[in-house]
Structure 1
Amino acid sequence: MKTLSTILAASLFAAFSATAMADDSVVQDGYVFEKNQLLPTGVRAEVGTTGYGGALLWTANPYVGLALGYNGGDISWSDDLSIDGTKYDVDMENNNVYLNAELRPWGASTNRWAQGVYVAAGVAYIDNDYDLTQRSSDGKVTLNGNKYLYDGSINGQLSYKNDIAPYVGLGWAPKINKNWGVFGEVGAYYTGNPSVDLDKDGTFIGLNGSAEADLRAEEQKIRNDDKYEWMPVGKVGVSYHW
């Protein structure tokens, strides 16, 4: 966490330094960087695929903002992970700290709806655990494309541990009055392949000498599937600006 704090502090300082250097281009529009802009200008509460939490917000000028936030908590999804037609229920335990720059191309527009459009780019510390469960509701389970008679469940864990992941996203955060606003954002973290462990909590019926090999093959498929190199993000919330 000490390394994370150093990264966040350095990123925050660099972002504000870059904004200060760029102020010459916006002085002519009447916007001048001031030291008190280092203080947060708002907060927001949010919930989505990466959990629930909130963020501190900074508005350096109409075109550039920063968000330093945290998402955590447990979220469960049914049939959320699928490998070759085999579906696993997912119970997510999220733990993410992020720092994003929000670039608003129409930040100085007189149209408040256009003002709210932004592109987000940043980085996050990700420490997520996903519990996986495949239950044999019909007395069968599928492993590596093969069906087995089975009494119980196949359990496992997919983890993104201690990862620093880059992020890109697209959002819309219009104000509905002077202080209050709403927002929605979609994007993705590039996390690389996760670690995956599968185990059986039940009994195979009959002679199934290849079941263990198929279990390990299924584990490897999840671990190496390209789509799990990216962690999708979708969230909504409300903001308050002072």
Structure 2
Amino acid sequence: MRLIKLTAISAAVLASTAALAAEPVIVVDGNDAVVYEAEPVAVAYEAEPVAYAYNADAGIVSNTTGAVVGGTKGFFSKVINPASVSAEVGTLGYGANIGWSLNEKTELQAGWAGGDVADLFGGDFDANDVNYDVDSDFSNPYLGVQLRPTGNWFTMGAGIIVPDNDFDVTANPDGGVYKINDVSYNADDVGALQGSMEHRNKLAPYGTIGFRPNIGNNWGVFGEIGAAYMGKTNATVSASKTGPVRVEDGFTDGGTIVPGVTPGDVAALAEKELEDKDYLEWMPIVKLGATYRF
């Protein structure tokens, strides 16, 4: 009896080992031979793919929120794999931006626009009665959010610009005079009035509205209008001559000499007029561009 039990136990152990090894095992009990053959257990793991579908109406990659908030790995995957890249031209300059889709209606954007865009304004502007030629050097990094509130082509944007915009200005005399605060100063006595301007704000909030239609599975175009609050400007103006300045009164041929008035005084008056110019406080935003979506 003890032999039978030991034999049975040995058979069970060998059978278990055979099951793991997936090899047949033969156990001899007396004159009988019993063959045990183990069948391997198959465990299947089936991963469900995450659907990242391109929405042709909204023009963005959908279902990306989970990749952003689903963990560190997913977040960095989205950072290095943006949803779109765009090229643009407008009143802030020539530039480009990168977009990351948070969901079907929200896209985070980071970009830069700059360069010499004075020609987009016509190359000159008027500060009261003085006309100035302008050369510009713009640098406008920005970070913003683009919303599609109705899920179609209509967009609304908001964000922050870090402006570093310089304007070089040269006054153009009109009829041989610079007219400042309704007083006409002889341009030959003053000489050339030249200077520079820059915005005071180090951070400038902006808002836009626009449209972003698609022209294919990957390509799209966009247009935006809006404004950025750049704040007041700091101006510096100097005159190229020294000495007394004649004031044109309209009656005396060649003007009259006003004691104490110098070209530096005229430059200071022009500087104040430039700083008081309102439209530079609110910088208009008009831009056009093209987008490629991955």
Shorter-normalised TM range: 0.7 to 0.9
In 2, Cα distance between equivalents of 1:169 and 1:234: 9
Query: Conserved in 1, the CA contact under 8 Å of 2:201 and 2:230?
Result: no
Return the structure number with greater strand share.
Answer: 1
1:72 alignment partner AA? G
Q: Distance in 2 between matches of 1:201 and 1:121?
A: 44
Letter in 2 for 1:131: D
Query: Does structure 1 conserve the Cα–Cα contact (< 8 Å) formed by 2:221 and 2:289?
Result: yes
Matched residue, 1:143: 180
Q: SS of the counterpart of 2:113?
A: strand
Is the radius of gyration larger for structure 1 or structure 2? 2
Correspondence for 1:195 among 234, 240, 265: 234
Distance, in Å, in 2 between the alignment partners of 1:234 and 1:153 is 33
> Which deviates further from its counterpart, 137-146 or 167-176?
137-146
Aligned counterpart in structure 1 of residue 141 of structure 2, from 75, 97, 112: 97
Question: Alignment partner of 2:214: what SS?
Answer: coil
* 1:76 has 2:118 as partner: yes
- In the alignment, the residues of structure 2 paired with residue 126 and residue 240 of structure 1 have an alpha-carbon distance, to the nearest angstrom, of 26
Corresponding position: 1:47 with 2:89: yes
Residue 33 of structure 1 aligns to which amino acid in structure 2? Answer: T
Question: What CA deviation, in whole Å up to 9, does each residue of 1:42-82 have, x standing for no partner?
Answer: 10111111110100012221211121100111122446432
Identity %: 34
Q: Residue deviations 1:129-165, cap 9 Å, x none?
A: 0111112364222233322221343111110267111
The AA in structure 1 aligned to 2:269 is A
Q: In the alignment, what sits opposite 2:284? A: 232
C-alpha distance in structure 2 between counterparts of 1:96 and 1:196, whole Å:
19
Q: Secondary structure at the match of 2:165?
A: strand
Question: Any conservation in 1 of the 2:85–2:96 contact (CA below 8 Å)?
Answer: yes
Aligned to 1:172: 211
1:128 to 155, 160, 165: 165
Closer/same/farther in 2, CA of residues 241 and 235 from structure 1, 3 Å limit: same
Query: Which consecutive residues of structure 2, in runs of 5 or more, have no partner in the other structure?
Result: 1-61, 68-76, 247-256
Moved more, 52-61 or 136-145: 136-145
Deviating more after overlay: 185-194 vs 202-211: 202-211
CA contact (8 A) 1:193 1:228 kept: yes
Do the aligned residues in 1 keep the contact of 2:133 with 2:169 (CA within 8 Å)? yes
One of 188, 196, 215 as aligned partner of 1:157: 196
Q: 2:173 and 2:109 mapped to 1: Cα distance?
A: 44
When normalised by structure 2's length, the TM-score is 0.63
Which segment drifts farther, 160-169 or 60-69?
160-169
1-side partners of 2:176 and 2:197: how far apart?
A: 25
Gaps of 5+ in 1: 1-29, 108-114
Q: Is the 8 A contact 1:174 1:181 kept in 2?
A: yes
Task: Report whether the alignment pairs 1:62 with 2:98.
Answer: no
Greater relative contact order (Cα 8 A, min sep 6): structure 1 or 2?
A: 1
| C-alpha RMSD over aligned residues | 2.3
Give yes or no for contact 1:129–1:157 (8 Å, CA) kept in 2. yes
Post-superposition shift, 1:169?
A: 1.0
Distance 1:119 1:48 in 2: 17
Contact kept, 8 Å, 1:79 with 1:87, in 2: the verdict is: no
Q: Is the 2:130–2:173 Cα contact (8 Å) retained in structure 1? A: no
Shift, 1:236, TM fit: 0.7
Partner of 1:106: 150
2:209 aligned counterpart, secondary structure: strand
Letter of the aligned partner of 1:194 in structure 2? T
Q: Specify whether residues 202 and 179 from structure 1 end up closer, same or farther in structure 2 by C-alpha distance, changes over 3 A only.
A: farther
Query: How far apart are residue 34 of structure 1 and its match?
Result: 2.5
Q: Mean Cα displacement is larger for which, 128-137 or 32-41? A: 32-41
In structure 2, distance between residues paired with 1:217 and 1:225: 13
- TM (norm. structure 1) is 0.76
1:86 counterpart residue number: 130
| TM-aligned CA distance change 1:79 to 1:87, over 3 Å | farther
